[in-house]
């Protein structure tokens, strides 16, 4: 007999909840699991300035299949990083913007790193 984990209602996320597919209960590991998935960081980046509809986001991410984009958006919506607004399209939530701002130092570091590589 297989033990099934009960699913939490999407309308009531609980603090510290695991990100779908995460193998650990530690929040930092759950975050790394999520942002380590292919295309997640790119989607965050493309939504940084303005909302985009599905097709615009797919074009901005060049090379992502519709099924993968749909899956990543669902994961990011479940993690409360992205939301879909009927008239505007996909946009970052407050938490999504906070996450993106935490990644800004990586941009600065990457520019230094690129210069040292020549």
Structural domains in the chain, CATH included, are 27-117 (1.10.10.10)
pLDDT of residue 118: 83
For CA atoms 9, 14, 17, 20, the dihedral sign is positive
pLDDT of residue 4: 53
pLDDT of residue 111: 93
Which regions of the chain are under pLDDT 50? 1, 5-15
Instruction: Give me the residues paired with residue 85 across strands.
Output: 89
pLDDT of residue 96: 97
Name the token pair of 28.
């930092």
Q: What is the 3-state secondary structure (H, E, C) of the chain?
A: CCCCCCCCCCCCCCCCCCCCCCCCCCHHHHHHHHHCCCCHHHHHHHCCCCCECHHHHHHHCCCCCHHHHHHHHHHHHHCCCEEEECCCEEEECHHHHHHHHHHHHHHHHHHHHHHHHC
Instruction: Give me the residues paired with residue 91 across strands.
Output: 83
pLDDT of residue 63: 86
């Amino acid at each position: 007999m297989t033990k099934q984990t009960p699913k939490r209602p999407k309308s009531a996320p609980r603090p510290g909840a695991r990100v779908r597919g995460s193998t650990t209960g530690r929040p930092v590991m759950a975050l790394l699991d999520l942002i380590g998935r292919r295309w997640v960081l790119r989607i965050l980046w493309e939504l940084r300035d303005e909302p985009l509809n599905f097709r615009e986001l797919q074009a901005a991410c060049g090379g992502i299949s519709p099924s993968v984009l749909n899956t990543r958006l669902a994961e990011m919506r479940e993690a409360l990083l992205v939301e879909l607004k009927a008239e505007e399209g996909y946009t970052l939530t407050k938490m999504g913007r906070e996450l993106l701002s935490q990644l800004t130092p990586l941009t600065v570091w990457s520019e230094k790193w690129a210069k040292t590589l020549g």
